[in-house]
Amino acid sequence: MANAISKRFKANDAIKSAMPTGAQTAQAAIKALRQFKAPKFNQTVNVVFSLGIDPKQADQLIRGSVALPHGIGKSSRVIVFCQSDKVAAVKAAGAIEAGAEDLVAKIEAGWTAFDVAIASPDMMRVVSKLGKVLGPKGLMPSPKAGTVTADVVNAAKEYTAGKQEYRNDDGGNVHGVIGKLSFTDEQLTDNLNLFIATISKARPSAAKGQYVRKCVIAACMTPGVQVAVAGI
């Protein structure tokens, strides 16, 4: 027991010695993550923004999508609701399934083995039948998320490559992924800076006072490191 306690204290001391003081630049924060003892698997790097919004007010909600320059290290299973003349093109762009009423019927029968659903605007009258199925799972196509679009081919390509939707939770926080620890420092820095810029531009006009209260990045098995967000 004594040895176990001793190891735990040593581990805590190692974490404390690697933890930087105060908010860091994006590049310094990423370098700091690499100082923590890493497990053998390739960790995902996450970002969390604590925002000065009132999530109970409809005019202060944050929702959108972002395609990071270096991807996020994983692909998404994408389906597309579209006219028959687009099916071949969206499948070539990476969609695992595409169609109209036939695809609706497949989902109504219980198939939901996908991560993102995209629809052309003219398909929404068909897709609306799936509101009770897709809505609770957060899979309903939405113009704000960029998943209702006339350019379904490009959307399928971007989402397959890792474009991600973001939205605030009930506490006013926005969660996202900026890549894997196997990425270079430059790749993670580029991705993080673009995510910060995206959230900054998404500031609702109704939000008052400090908008980004805190920004923290962490790999899935590391402590969080605070990132400085200037000018907000």
In this structure, what CATH number is given to the domain that contains residue 102?
3.40.50.790
Residues 85 and 192 in one domain: no
Q: 160, 178, 195 — which closes off a domain?
A: 160
Looking at residue 5, its pLDDT comes to 33
Q: Is 35 inside a domain boundary?
A: yes
Q: Is 133 inside a domain boundary?
A: yes
Q: Is 111 inside a domain boundary?
A: yes
- Whether 6 has a pLDDT exceeding 80, the answer reads no
Q: Report the amino acid identity of residue 196.
A: I
- Whether 54 has a pLDDT exceeding 50, the answer reads yes
Q: Is 231 inside a domain boundary?
A: no
Residue 170 CB neighbours (<10 A):
7
Helices (H) and strands (E) in the chain, counts: 8, 9
- Whether 102 has a pLDDT exceeding 60, the answer reads yes
Give CA separation, 169 vs 143, 152, 174, 182, in Å. 19, 28, 6, 29
Question: What average pLDDT does the segment 176-192 reach?
Answer: 96
Mean pLDDT rounded to a whole number for the chain: 90
Residues 150 and 92 in one domain: yes
CATH number at residue 204: 3.30.190.20
Rounded CA separation 113/222 (Å): 31
Residues 29 and 134 in one domain: no
Q: Which domain holds residue 104?
A: 78-160
Q: Is 15 inside a domain boundary?
A: no
Residues 156 and 168 in one domain: no
Q: Is 9 inside a domain boundary?
A: no
Q: Are 172 and 52 in contact (CB under 8 A)?
A: yes
Q: 108, 126, 160 — which closes off a domain?
A: 160
Rounded CA separation 182/219 (Å): 11
Query: Per-residue pLDDT tens for 209-222?
Result: 999 999 999 999 99
CA 83 to chain centre: 28
Domain count, the chain: 2
Looking at residue 104, its pLDDT comes to 96
Residues 89 and 154 in one domain: yes
Query: Per-residue pLDDT tens for 117-158?
Result: 999 999 999 999 999 999 999 899 999 888 999 999 999 999
Q: Is 11 inside a domain boundary?
A: no
Q: Is 232 inside a domain boundary?
A: no
Residues 172 and 65 in one domain: yes
